[in-house]
Amino acid sequence: MRLLPVALVALFLFACTPAKAPPIAGDYKLARVSEHVYVLHGPNEQPNKRNQGFMNNPGIVLTKKGVVVIDPGSSVQVGELVLKKIAEVTKNPVVAVFNTHIHGDHWLGNQAIKAAFPKAVIYAHPKMKAKTATDGESWLTLLNNLTEGAVVGTRPLAPDTHIEHGETLALNGTHFRIYHSGKAHTDGDIMVEVVEEKVMFLGDNALVDRIGRMDDGDFKGNVAALEMALATKAAHFVPGHGPSNGRAVAEGYRDYLKALHAEVKKYYDQGVSDFDMKPKVAEALARFRAWKDFEDQLGKHISLAYLQVEADAF
Ligand SMILES: [Zn+2]
């Protein structure tokens, strides 16, 4: 009888230990965007059961002695996929990681990188880092729900240290320059320029072929961030979601945000409510209608832009 409590405790602990969901099954290929920079473009869709939560664009930069990862993805499973892809191109260790912003599909893969390379230093904007303790678990819950458990086994691992606008990190002769222009897609975005490679990682400040969510963002601020990125000497632009390309990546999303804001302001000035202006704005933005999320998110974008136009008016 004395063993019963011990057995119960053991059973309880077993029941509480989450299993780990299987590895990412899809066959994803690295794209080389410049001599030493690769991107693993995830499917340009919401996290779901089929993609197992892999839908962002992890970046891999090879320096002379070590690897730098930008946004290791939504889970320990995605982080492990990124490590597998790194092993295809180098034997060098990961020495640094950048997290572009607080949304969980970009940074919950930190855990896998740190488990394999405990000395790797994870960098993020101070406002991003400050939110990891409160937001990590809710992102995990959301991702587990959307993927039917594909991210089970993931633990939120916060960045180690802050990095701010204007700072440049030199790693083995490669320079990583950080840009932050204020609130854009979130209040804690960083964009990372790999100077020698003329590559700019934009995070979710730019999306391609999708209008995305602006719930945590600022329309004018996001436009300002993209103008800042376009003013650099970068030639290759990597969006948070969707294919990489030249300047068109930043220009296309900037044009959408600018047009949306201008239309909302025009009708606001005429006294039209956000609800009533929706069909007119949708008509004016018809050229973006084929982008993902357009039907789902346009109304929300209009309401958010309306509040921002209203706040600017006071
Ligand atoms: Zn995001």
In this prediction, residue 200 carries a pLDDT of 99
How many domains are there within the chain? Answer: 1
- Structure tokens that stand for 89 in this block: 């191109």
Reported as type and span, the H/E element at residue 89 is helix 76-89
Express each pLDDT in 4-23 by its tens digit: 666 666 566 555 556 999 99
Rounded mean pLDDT, 170-176: 97
150-185 b/e with 16+ CB inside 10 Å = b?
bbbbbebbbbeeebeeeeebebeebebbbbbbebbb
**86 C-alpha to ligand 1 centroid (Å):** 24
Which pLDDT band, with edges at 50, 70 and 90, does 3 fall under?
low
Taking the C-alpha atoms of residue 70 and residue 192, their distance in angstroms, rounded to an integer, is: 8
Who contacts 275 (Cβ-Cβ below 8 Å, separation ≥6)? none
**128 C-alpha to ligand 1 centroid (Å):** 12
In this prediction, residue 314 carries a pLDDT of 86
Among 220, 249, 234, which residue's Cα sits nearest to residue 192?
A: 234
Give a yes or no: residue 67 inside a domain: yes
What residue numbers bound the domain in which 176 lies?
A: 21-255
In this prediction, residue 303 carries a pLDDT of 98
**218 C-alpha to ligand 1 centroid (Å):** 13
Express each pLDDT in 23-64 by its tens digit: 999 999 999 999 999 999 999 999 999 999 999 999 999 999
**305 C-alpha to ligand 1 centroid (Å):** 17
Give a yes or no: residue 116 inside a domain: yes
**162 C-alpha to ligand 1 centroid (Å):** 19
Who contacts 171 (Cβ-Cβ below 8 Å, separation ≥6)? 63, 66, 68, 95, 96
pTM: 0.94
Give a yes or no: residue 55 inside a domain: yes
In this prediction, residue 286 carries a pLDDT of 97
Give a yes or no: residue 311 inside a domain: no
Give a yes or no: residue 285 inside a domain: no
Give a yes or no: residue 91 inside a domain: yes
Chain-centre distance for alpha carbon 85: 19
**204 C-alpha to ligand 1 centroid (Å):** 5
Give a yes or no: residue 278 inside a domain: no
Amino acid at 171: L
Which pLDDT band, with edges at 50, 70 and 90, does 212 fall under?
very high
In this prediction, residue 122 carries a pLDDT of 98
Taking the C-alpha atoms of residue 18 and residue 32, their distance in angstroms, rounded to an integer, is: 36
**91 C-alpha to ligand 1 centroid (Å):** 31
Q: What is the CATH number of the domain that holds 47?
A: 3.60.15.10
**207 C-alpha to ligand 1 centroid (Å):** 9
Give a yes or no: residue 92 inside a domain: yes
Express each pLDDT in 227-260 by its tens digit: 999 999 999 999 999 999 999 999 999 999 999 9
**101 C-alpha to ligand 1 centroid (Å):** 7
